[in-house]
Amino acid sequence: MKALITGITGQDGYYLAKLLLEKDYEVHGLIRRSSNINTYRIDSLISEYSDSKKLNLYYSDLLDSSSLTNLINNILPDEVYNLAAQSHVAVSFKNPIYSTNTSTIGTLTILESLRNLEKDVKFYQASSSEMYGGQFNGMLDENSEFEPKSPYAAAKLFSYNITKIYRESYGIFAVNGILFNHESPLRGETFVTRKISRAVGRIYNKIQNNLTLGNLEASRDWGYAGDYVQGMYMMLQHHIADDWVLATGETYTVKDFAKAAFECVDLDWEEYVLTSEKYFRPNEVDYLLGDSSKARKELGWKNEVDFKSLVSKMVESDLLLAEREKVLIDKGLLEPTWEYSIK
């Protein structure tokens, strides 16, 4: 089996590539060309599979339709997982055109390429709980109404809809995974959960004083990324193409996450966390809670890592990272971070 993963250098890309490699897949991944080396998340996989042809990486871009089409035609994968996007919601307000283009053009290019292939290929589209908009204080499932409140969410909704259109119009095995927030020690540092765990590690090691956050009452259904990529894989192994929500069925506020993270090192979060309205989103998504009953029943999927275990995993990892930072600071090779804010 051959799989193509866009966004392989991201958090989900790492966990999915690892899963597929362990299942003896031949994995092909797209890397966006950058002036900086951006493969640090998958470096361990590159090292482990460097002597085989199991892991193959290519420079390409979701905005480069001809390059993307040529790669698909040359690789002829059995499965395509489209994970790539500018996935930070706040950043999508600052860079709406780029954020929208990466989440729409790439999806459409892949679907058009698959439509014109003689080979039947299964396609997974990474959709997002942000599409719901967060106005309903109840459980959200596959039949709930979408009301996007950011350029990121609006673009994701386009890709969700175009995936359904190509499935229904051309018979492509194309699925949408509507994933609620999923985190890990590999989460990008611009995301609130990782900002909190990084700050806890630094504050505990006395190389940071405090952490400024925005809306502490924003509530999210947070799960573990390693569990969610299992769901992605299960969707493409199902006998029919459909759309599924993946979520834990529990929701916690940003305040809850901060409190749990600081408790991991026996610190009182209120002594270190500041708030500022300038870090609020222009259009806030207040509440997200997912109902994954369909995925649990039809796919046999379930989340294994609960909220407290997830927070603990992230803090433990960032404590080690902060310890290494402290060594560099003590040697005068790195400046301490006295305040850390979400922008």
Which pair of structure tokens corresponds to residue 68? 């993307």
Q: With contact defined as beta carbons under 8 Å apart, do 248 and 221 qualify? A: yes
Residue 261 burial class via C-beta count within 10 angstroms: exposed 0-12, middle 13-18, buried 19 and up: buried
**What CA–CA distances, in Å, run from 341 to 3, 217, 225, 313?**
38, 17, 24, 22
The full length of the chain comes to 343
Nearest Cα to 82, choosing from 43, 115, 127, 145? Answer: 127
**What CA–CA distances, in Å, run from 329 to 15, 200, 325, 338?**
31, 17, 6, 12
Determine whether 130 is an active site residue. yes
Pure H helices in the chain: 11-22, 43-48, 65-75, 89-94, 96-116, 151-170, 192-204, 225-237, 254-263, 293-298, 307-330
Q: DSSP letter at 290?
A: B
Q: Please tell me which residue in 87, 99, 128, 197 is annotated as part of the active site.
A: 128
3-state DSSP helix/strand/coil % of the chain, to nearest 5: 45, 15, 40
Q: Please tell me which residue in 130, 132, 144, 340 is annotated as part of the active site.
A: 130
Q: Please tell me which residue in 14, 81, 152, 287 is annotated as part of the active site.
A: 152
**Residue 8 and residue 244: Cα distance in Å, rounded?**
22
Q: With contact defined as beta carbons under 8 Å apart, do 11 and 184 qualify? A: yes
**Residue 192 and residue 198: Cα distance in Å, rounded?**
10
**Residue 230 and residue 174: Cα distance in Å, rounded?**
17
Determine whether 183 is an active site residue. no
Look-up of token digits 């299960």: 234
Q: Which residue numbers are catalytic?
A: 128, 130, 152
